[in-house]
Every structure is written in structure tokens, then in C-alpha cells.
Structure 1
């Protein structure tokens, strides 16, 4: 059963501007997530925002407790720990599906949580 759906869109240029200020990347991402492509970084940010929307709230969650990766086939996935893993267990979520896309200067992500 679907227990949450979230979607987020992030303008890549706006994200890149914000990323150049005040250590934003270090606050939002783990070292493994940070790379030189602002398009990919904006997509990871959109993924985390979509996850928060699917979970219903962000209170008490740490950005570093969810990491966006990709498997051998290039499919994106989340790795959870700490506060985010606890919230997922609390909500009875067994599977989290993630899709990320980039086009025309926009990064977008969709998350579906299933029990």
C-alpha cells in the first residue's frame, strides 16, 4: 500500500547560486554525494525534498541521514540511517521508490513510499 508520495522540482541555476554561498552543500549532503555537477546535485536535493514530502514532515530529520546514490544500472536509490531510518520504520515503510530527472535547467524527483 502507498503511504506517501512526494515530488520536488529545483531550478539548477538557482541551486548552483545558493550552493556557492555559506557551506550549503556541506549542510545538505554527505561527502559521497558531493561532486562537480550542479545538475546532479540539484537532482539529489530535489530527491531529498521529495522524500520529506512523502514522509509528511521534516521535524527532527537530519539531511546527512539520507544519502542519494545510484546502482550499477544507473538507477537512483536512497540509503537511510539515523533519524531518517527511524522515521521510515515508525511509518511502517518497507520500500521507497525514487526517480530523478534533469531537463531544460530543471532537476525533478518523485518519491513513492510503500508499506
Structure 2
């Protein structure tokens, strides 16, 4: 079995995660499960931001991808240690995305030795992606 490579001493990259999802999968989940799906995966603030768009599905999809990318960067997967609502995409004054962590998410960030989360989001009409880098 191959082990996870060690991060070199002196490096400030603690974790990296990426995720891509078809926008149609998120759209279908919203149509099929409605508020139950939205409330399980997205914070009220994320829902408000996405619902304000003429086509909300790509925006929900980028946020879904960001949560998956966070779980990959933490090396936990989605579950008990890091859940869907433990991270939230928020925006700066210029519209740039940032990650806001829950208390449990912030504790996990500190536990892995990171202090900041860098994120990049992108979407087309059919796919959405997110890249997350944890840095010390």
C-alpha cells in the first residue's frame, strides 16, 4: 500500500483538494429533494446568495464542489469530523471567494497545522469546480 506523501519541512502548504461536479446533478437534487437537500448541504447565507442568481444551479454546484475540496484538503472526507455545514463560501468586497469555517472546521484547520484556506471557484453551464489549499 502506498502511503500519503509527507509535506516537506518548511513548506507552508498543509493540504490540497479539488473537486468537479456536473451542474445537472445538483439541479436534479434540488428539484428532487428541495429544502431538505439545500438545508443539509448549504448554509442559509449560501442559499440566499445562490437564490439571488437567475440560474442558481451553477452557484450551488461550485459551493458543493468547495465543500468536497475542503474535505479532500483535510484528508477526512465528508462525515463526522468534517460535515457539509462546516464550511461556507463567502465573498469579499471585490466578489472574491473566501471560506468561512464553523467552530468544528476551525478546530480541524488548527489540528492539521494550517491557519488559512485559499480557494478558487469556477463554473460553466454544465460543470463546476473548486480548488482548496490549506496553508500555515
Fold-level similarity (TM above 0.5) = yes
Contact preservation (8 Å) 2:62, 2:128: yes
Bigger relative contact order, structure 1 or 2, given CA contacts below 8 A and separation 6+? Answer: 1
TM-score, normalising length: structure 1 = 0.93
User: What residue in structure 2 maps to residue 49 of structure 1?
Assistant: 68
Match of 1:113 in 2: 134
Quote how far apart the aligned CAs of 1:65 are: 2.3
The unaligned stretches of length 5 or more in structure 1 are none
Richer in helix (by share): 2
Query: 1:104 deviation in Å?
Result: 4.6
Alignment of 1:82-101 (within 5 A): 82-101=103-122
5+ residue gaps, structure 2, are 1-11
CA distance in 2, matches of 1:31, 1:110: 23
Determine if the alignment matches structure 1 residue 32 to structure 2 residue 45.
yes
Retained in 1: the 8 A contact 2:119–2:132?
A: yes
Residue in structure 2 matching 1:11, options 17, 22, 27: 22
**Which 4+ runs in 1 deviate beyond 4 A?**
none
Deviation digits for residues 46-105 of structure 1 (CA, Å, limit 9, x no counterpart)? 011101100000342232221111111111111112211110011111121000001251
1:74 correspondence with 2:112: no
C-alpha RMSD over aligned residues:
1.2
> What is the rounded CA distance, in whole Å, between the counterparts of 1:2 and 1:79 in structure 2?
19
Number of positions where the alignment pairs a residue of Structure 1 with one of Structure 2: 115
